[in-house]
Amino acid sequence: MSDIKVLIADDSILFSRFLKSVVDSAEGFACCACCSNVFEARDEIERLKPDMLILDIEMPKMNGIAFLRQLIPQYTVPVIVCSSRRDLVLQAMQAGAADYIPKPEEGGYDEFKQKLLKSLKASANIKRVKSGCKFYNVRAAAAAEVISRKIIIIGGSAGSTEALPKILTSFDKNTPPAAVVLHMPEGYTSLYAKRMNAEHPQLTIVEAEQGLYLKNGMVVIAQGDKHMRLFKDAKGYFVTCEAGPKVSGHCPSVDVFFESAAYCAGGEAIGVILTGMGKDGARGLSQMHHAGAYTIGQSEKSSAVYGMPKAAFELGAVDKQCDLEKIGDAIKAWYLK
């Protein structure tokens, strides 16, 4: 899915550049234009069809609040107002602003950046905007889900069906998509996915299907009798499911899946190898590691069977060993940085 396009309207060139740097650093967002007044913004809106605006109040020719009152009924998108005029917060919100963030004072730029990043993600999920006494539906493109460029890759065997739920407690609807290969027999993976989905209602947990595209908050479990592979195109990450001979002693094979992730995701992925017997996944995790992915191996003391994580560690494929109860937080720290 394409990035959410953000148009910036602020008469300060330096502050516009700062805003652009923040927007472009946010996953799933991109600045499409910077305008110094609302008339430039109007022309660029018509040309670029942005999904969101960041708007100053005090600008030449027309102030931001007057422009906002005209904009929302005609072109309804989330608008984040950034201004030094704290006395105009109420007017901005009544005109249709999705959020108001005061411009930073000296030394407050890091705090402002974090507030803006949080506001961008929250505003992207807004479906309706109130301007004056009326509600307006947000344009469909602007209401699109924010799809992370990052992806979570997990593999395991003996004991991993009990380990995975503990990791998922750290996930929410904004977590990058996760794709999981566990050594489970045919017919069990569908039931397992349904049980996990009931236990973790904040997530969408499904058995893999051919050509399934992944999105934030989704966990995909490989089918019990087919190799799952990861691919990427202009729409994002998707998986394939194909029958085939056993690889590293298994179908689905963690090695097969990890190797596909190394090829198409590179440094956008985090690879996690969980408790399990044998060596499946060690070679694939090594390929992910060399492709730039961050890799985690479950610790010996927290593993039911320290086979797969040990093989990966001895191969030099593991960046960090973690106790099971800390893996979810380690994944979260990785995708939030």
Q: pLDDT tens, 282-316?
A: 999 999 999 999 999 999 999 999 999 999 999 99
State percent of the chain over pLDDT 90. Answer: 82
- 160 carries an active-site annotation: no
Q: What is the CATH number of the domain that holds 206?
A: 3.40.50.180
The active-site residue out of 16, 119, 157, 253 is: 157
Residues 168, 129 share a domain: no
Residue type, 115: K
Residues 286, 160 share a domain: yes
Sign of dihedral through CA atoms 231, 291, 167, 281? positive
Residues 324, 251 share a domain: yes
Residue 107 located in a structural domain:
yes
- 24 carries an active-site annotation: no
For 125, the domain range is 4-137
Residues 257, 289 share a domain: yes
The active-site residue out of 10, 51, 56, 280 is: 280
Q: Strand, coil or helix: what is 310?
A: helix
| pLDDT at residue 2, rounded to an integer | 65
C-alpha 160 chain-centroid distance: 24
- Going by C-alpha positions, the residue among 259, 255, 269 that lies closest to residue 151 is 269
Q: How far apart are CA 184 and CA 248, in angstroms?
A: 15
| pLDDT at residue 280, rounded to an integer | 97
Q: pLDDT tens, 90-123?
A: 999 999 999 999 999 877 889 999 999 999 999 9
Residue 142 located in a structural domain:
no
Residue 143 located in a structural domain:
no
- 51 carries an active-site annotation: no
| pLDDT at residue 96, rounded to an integer | 94
How many structural domains are present in the chain?
2
| pLDDT at residue 106, rounded to an integer | 78
Residues 216, 158 share a domain: yes
Which residue matches tokens 């100053």? 56
Q: How far apart are CA 155 and CA 296, in angstroms?
A: 11
Residues 201, 114 share a domain: no
Residues 128, 190 share a domain: no
Residue 188 located in a structural domain:
yes
Please report which confidence band the pLDDT of residue 145 belongs to, taking 50, 70 and 90 as the band edges. low
Structure tokens belonging to residue 97: 């602003």
Global pTM reads: 0.61
